[in-house]
Amino acid sequence: MNKIAITICGSSGIDYVNPNHGLKVFRSSVVINGKEYQDYIDISADKFYQLLEDEDPDVHTAQVSTGTLVKMFEELKEEGYTDVIAISISSGLSGTYQGLYVAKDLVTGINVYPFDSLFIGFAEAKLALVAKEMVEKGYQVKEILDELTRIRDSHHFRFVVDDLKYLVKNGRLSSAKGFIADVFNIKPILMKDELGRVVMEEKIRSKKRAINRALDLFLKEIEGKDVQAYIVYTNNLEEVKVVKDIVLFKAPNLKNIGIYPLPPVIGVHSGPRALGIGYFSTTEFNKY
C-alpha cells in the first residue's frame, strides 16, 4: 500500500500560515551581512523586516542544497513512505524546482514527484495543505497532482512594493528603471505571469494609487466568480487590514480573506511595506 508524504518549500511561509502543519519543510537561507539564517528557525518575519527598516543590511538568499534534499528523501524512505510530492517555489523565480529533480535522481526506493507551484508564499502553502488533506482522505498521487494543477492554474496575483531598491539589488529590476521610478515616485503593479515569473503590469504614481488600481483590477476579475482570496504583507499589517475591509465591502460575495506574512526569503526581494492580493478558484479541500 502506498504511503504518501507531502514536502514544502520554506518560501511558502507555511510556518506562519499554520504552525502545526506537520509537513516536512526544505528551507532556503536568508543571508544577512554574510551570515546565513533559516527562515522561521533562526529569524522571524517581524524581526527581519524591522532589521531592513532599522539597519538596511546587505541581504540575499542561498538556495537549499541538493544534499539537504537527498537527506530529506532518504529519511522519508526510512519512515516507510513510498511516494513524495515535493511542492516548490516557482521555477521562474528560483532553481529549487530543478534542484528537486537532481535530488530525485540520487535516491532509490522512493518515488519523488516535484511540483512547481509557479509562485511564492501562500500560493505554495495552500497547495501543500490541500495535498495533505487529500492524503488523509485516501486520495492517490495522480488525483492529488491533478487537483494541485487545477488550483495552481486558477491562481492570479498582484503585488505593490514600497521601495524598488530591493528588486534592483536582487536582479529583478534594472538599476536604470529603479532610478527613474524612484525619481518620479512610480510604484509598479507587479503580477504573476503564466510561467510563474514576476512581471510589471502597470506603472502608477504613488503607492496609494497603485494599491487602489490593483484592487480595482482584482475586483473586476473576481466579479461573478467563486474564489478564495488572500492578502500577503511584510511589516504593514494595519495597512493590510484596511485593504481587507475595503475588499470585503466592495465584494460581499467573499466570505473572508486570509492575511499572511511574506517569509524573509521572499521579503529579500520585496522589501518592507509591500503587499499583494491574490485568488484561486474554490476547492472542496482545505479552507485556508
Instruction: Tell me what pLDDT residue 98 has.
Output: 96
Beta carbons within 8 Å of 67's beta carbon, 6+ residues apart: none
Question: Cell 534594472 belongs to which residue?
Answer: 174
* Domain locations in the chain as residue ranges: 4-28+64-153, 156-281
CATH (residue range 4-28+64-153)? 3.40.50.10170
CATH fold, domain 156-281, is Hypothetical Protein Tm841; Chain: A;domain 3 (3.30.1180)
Predicted TM-score (pTM) of the model is 0.92
Radius of gyration of the CA atoms of the chain, in A? 19
Question: Checking phi first, is residue 113 left (phi over 0); if not, alpha (psi -120 to 50) or beta?
Answer: beta
Beta carbons within 8 Å of 214's beta carbon, 6+ residues apart: 158, 159, 160, 189, 277
Q: Is the dihedral of CA 184, 189, 195, 197 positive or negative?
A: positive
Instruction: Tell me what pLDDT residue 78 has.
Output: 97
Instruction: Tell me what pLDDT residue 198 has.
Output: 84
Instruction: Tell me what pLDDT residue 162 has.
Output: 87
Q: pLDDT tens digits for the chain (288 residues)?
A: 799 999 999 999 999 999 999 999 999 999 999 999 998 999 999 999 999 999 989 999 999 999 999 999 999 999 999 999 999 999 988 999 999 999 999 999 999 999 999 999 999 999 999 999 999 999 999 999 999 999 999 999 999 998 877 766 655 444 334 444 454 467 889 898 888 888 888 889 889 999 999 999 999 999 999 999 999 999 999 999 999 999 999 999 898 899 999 999 999 989 999 999 999 998 888 766
Question: Cell 503580477 belongs to which residue?
Answer: 191
Q: Residue 20 and residue 115: Cα distance in Å, rounded?
A: 22
Instruction: Tell me what pLDDT residue 205 has.
Output: 85
